[in-house]
Amino acid sequence: MRFTLGALVTAASLILSGSVQASERAERLDIYFLDMYGGGSTLIVTPLGESVLIDTGSLRPEHRDVDRICRACQEAGVKTIDYLITTHFHSDHFGGLPELVRRIPVRVFLDKGAPAPPSESNSRWFRELYPLYQEATKGQAKAIGAGDDIPLKNDPAGRIAPIRLHCVAAEERVEGFDGDVDAPVEGFDLAGADETDNARSIALVLTYGAFRFFAGGDITRNVELHLAQPVNRIGQVDLYQVTHHGLDQSNNPVLVKALSPTVAVAMNGPRKGIQPQTFKALTALPSLQALYQIHYNTQYGDAGNAAPEFIANRENPDRGEFIKASVYPAKGVFTVRIGPDGEAKTYPIQAGAAARIISPARFEHIAFNVQDPVAVAKWYCDYLGMKVVRSGPAPAFATFVSDAGGNMMFELYRNVDAPMPDQRRTDPNSFHVAFETDDVKATRDMLLGAGATVAKDIWSTDAGDVVIILRDPWGLPIQFLKRTERMLRD
């Protein structure tokens, strides 16, 4: 059963103290990655004091994981969990919930609306834990699905950057993709169908100002592929919760590259993740400045683990220490530390910053006959901040997208009776579409992560204009330029 999450936001919860200052402390958002010994639990505390707990670790050994969650709540000053999200029904993700509920109040339970699939619903652990879950949540858990928002409070005065927690996948449905995630895709290797609840995990994107964080639960490769292609549906992120504890049946390199995080945090165990392919995919990323791990994995040696200062429980695997990220959008940085008192390392917020630069894009008109007008329109909306003004019916799907100025549009349509130009063959010196941008390099970096390619790399004209020509994922030459003097008026 689905319901409208918006209804949960009561009028009272929107009334905020007028004294909230956008000071450093007031703008801080914290993310705690808890040591569940290879299980999952992540605590988010917003600057407006709301808390979200994603998963609750394991039931056994008794009290271990719940003690750790409670300690983090205490550390964070959380007395009530506002939203408790269970990504999927595996024992390392929801085993601690019944005890936790006895120790700290929970306002809203959220899950994906269906128990584990038939392949697992007869397992011993599921038959033990699921009834406890239903009892603890009193059957009141609400379902969220791909495309839903968790209605976190925002500062009505706008002094604190907008916060949004958004579900991009659940129950093998990917936002923006209608098909079967296990069906073949030309040019990509798919894994066999994942019959477990991992593939059905809830995957979330948290944005706070320009900061972007991806927490994909335990989703596996086929779901991940569809988050990354034919369009990068998430975009670049600053912080990546390494999916599925760093196991190789997840962390599809296509998605890892699409996300291109600055910092990755693996909630692994002493003998569970990070597996070699995932370790390699992460450490090969040009964007990655640091990889943190909850544990040192004894199976892979130093070459398969992060450097000692990035591993939370390296010396003592039973220490139970968390990794904590703190986000300061107004300062353009986030910090990561191990434990409450670890030395904070500082990283730039850059993922959303690039998107923000491109959002005021403008273009000179035009209509294109394309194979898939809806997908092309979505890409321009996702990455250039354009808007669909009108979408027409099949078979032409004539879709009008407007630029930021609101007075210029692409018309994208499919007319099978007319020649369908192969834009990959279009010489950018013969034809291209041009957009303004404030930062050509940042635009390039962001769009390369979104499936664009370079047709002609950055150069400057005699007049001092900085220019690049890319191709969109379908080959159309698109130029971005920063002129010394704008030729158009606002």
- The burial of 286, by beta-carbon neighbours within 10 Å (0-12 exposed, 13-18 middle, 19 or more buried), is given as exposed
Neighbours of 188 (CB within 10 A): 14
Q: CB of 325: closest distance to Zn ion in angstroms?
A: 20
CB of 218 to Zn ion, least distance (A): 4
Phi, then psi, of 313 in degrees rounded to 5: -125, 50
| CA geometry: angle 274, 326, 144, nearest 5 deg | 70
Nearest approach in angstroms of CB 38 to Zn ion is 8
Record the tokens describing residue 232, joined without a space: 């990068």
Write down the least CB distance from residue 468 to Zn ion, Å. 42
Greatest Cα-to-Cα distance within the chain, rounded to the nearest angstrom: 73
DSSP 5-44: GGGGS-HHHH---TT---STTTT-EEEEE---SSS--EEE
Q: What is d(CA 470, CA 133) in angstroms, rounded to the nearest whole number? A: 51
- Closer residue to Zn ion in complex, CB, 92/248: 92
Question: What number of other Cβ atoms are within 10 A of residue 129's Cβ?
Answer: 21
Restricting to residues 317-346, name those near Zn ion by CB under 5 A.
none
Site for Zn ion in 180-219 (CB under 5 A): 218
Nearest distance from residue 198's CB to Zn ion, in Å? Answer: 7
* Beta carbon nearer to Zn ion, 175 or 218: 218
User: Judged by CB under 5 A, does residue 248 bind Zn ion?
Assistant: no
- Which strand (E) or helix (H) includes residue 348? strand 345-348
Q: Which residues pair with 174 in a beta bridge?
A: 169, 177
Is the Cβ of residue 87 or residue 287 nearer to Zn ion in the bound state? Answer: 87
Place of tokens 């010396």: 315
Question: Which string of DSSP letters, residue by residue, matches 352-390?
Answer: HHHHHHHTT--B--EEEE-S-HHHHHHHHHHHH--EEEE
At position 250, the amino acid (one-letter code) is: S
> What's the rounded Cα separation, in Å, for the pair 155 and 161?
8
- Kindly tell me which of 38 and 451 has the beta carbon lying closer to Zn ion: 38
Q: Which of residues 213-232 bind Zn ion (CB under 5 A)?
A: 218
- Applying the rule CB under 5 A, the residues between 262 and 291 that interact with Zn ion are none
Number of Cβ within a 10 Å radius of residue 171? 19
Question: What distance in Å separates the CA atoms of residue 175 and residue 159, rounded to the nearest whole number?
Answer: 30
Return the amino acid letter for 241: Q
Cβ closest to Zn ion, residue 172 vs residue 218 = 218
Q: By CB under 5 A, is residue 411 in contact with Zn ion?
A: no
Output 275 or 402, the one with its CB closest to Zn ion.
275
Smallest gap from residue 217 Cβ to Zn ion (A): 8
Stretch that binds Zn ion, among 90-98, 140-148, 301-309, 424-432 (CB under 5 A): 90-98
Strands 366-369 and 387-391: unpaired
Q: Indicate the residue among 92 and 436 with the shorter CB distance to Zn ion.
A: 92
What distance in Å separates the CA atoms of residue 180 and residue 335, rounded to the nearest whole number?
Answer: 39
Which residue, 42 or 335, is less far from Zn ion as judged by CB? 42
Q: What is the C-alpha to C-alpha distance for residues 345 and 342, in angstroms, rounded to an integer?
A: 9
What's the closest the beta carbon of residue 313 comes to Zn ion, in angstroms? Answer: 17
Q: Using CA atoms, how far apart are residues 417 and 330, in angstroms rounded to an integer?
A: 52
Nearer to Zn ion, 59 or 440 (CB): 59
Q: How far apart, in whole angstroms, are the C-alpha atoms of residue 263 and residue 265?
A: 7
Min dist. Cβ of residue 244 to Zn ion (A)? 6
Nearest approach, Cβ of 36 to Zn ion (angstroms)? Answer: 9
Nearer to Zn ion, 92 or 120 (CB): 92
User: Which residues are within 8 A (CB) of 487 and not within 5 positions of it... i.e. 6 or more apart?
Assistant: none
| Interacting positions 370-389 with Zn ion (CB under 5 A) | none
Segment interacting with Zn ion (CB under 5 A) among 11-19, 88-96, 274-282, 429-437: 88-96
Piece of the chain touching Zn ion by CB under 5 A; list 70-78, 87-95, 208-216, 368-376? 87-95
Shortest Å distance, C-beta 78 to Zn ion: 23
Which among 181, 282, 193 has a CA at the least distance from the CA of 225? 181
The nearer residue to Zn ion, 88 or 153, going by C-beta atoms, is 88
Contact 377, 397 (CB under 8 A): no
Let me know: does 446 contact 355? Beta carbons within 8 Å.
Answer: yes
Shortest Å distance, C-beta 93 to Zn ion: 5
| Minimum CB distance to Zn ion, residue 208 (Å) | 25
Nearer to Zn ion, 232 or 243 (CB): 243
CB 150 within 8 A of CB 83: yes
Minimum distance, C-beta of residue 245 to Zn ion, in the bound complex (Å): 6
Which residue reads 């659940």 in tokens?
A: 170
38 to 77: interface string for Zn ion, x by CB under 5 A: ----------------------------------------
Q: Which stretch binds Zn ion (CB under 5 A): 24-32, 72-80, 85-93, 283-291?
A: 85-93
Q: Is 92 in the site for Zn ion (CB under 5 A)?
A: yes
Please give the size of the binding site for Zn ion, defined by CB under 5 A. 2
98 or 373: CB nearest Zn ion: 98
Residues within the interface to Zn ion (CB under 5 A): 92, 218
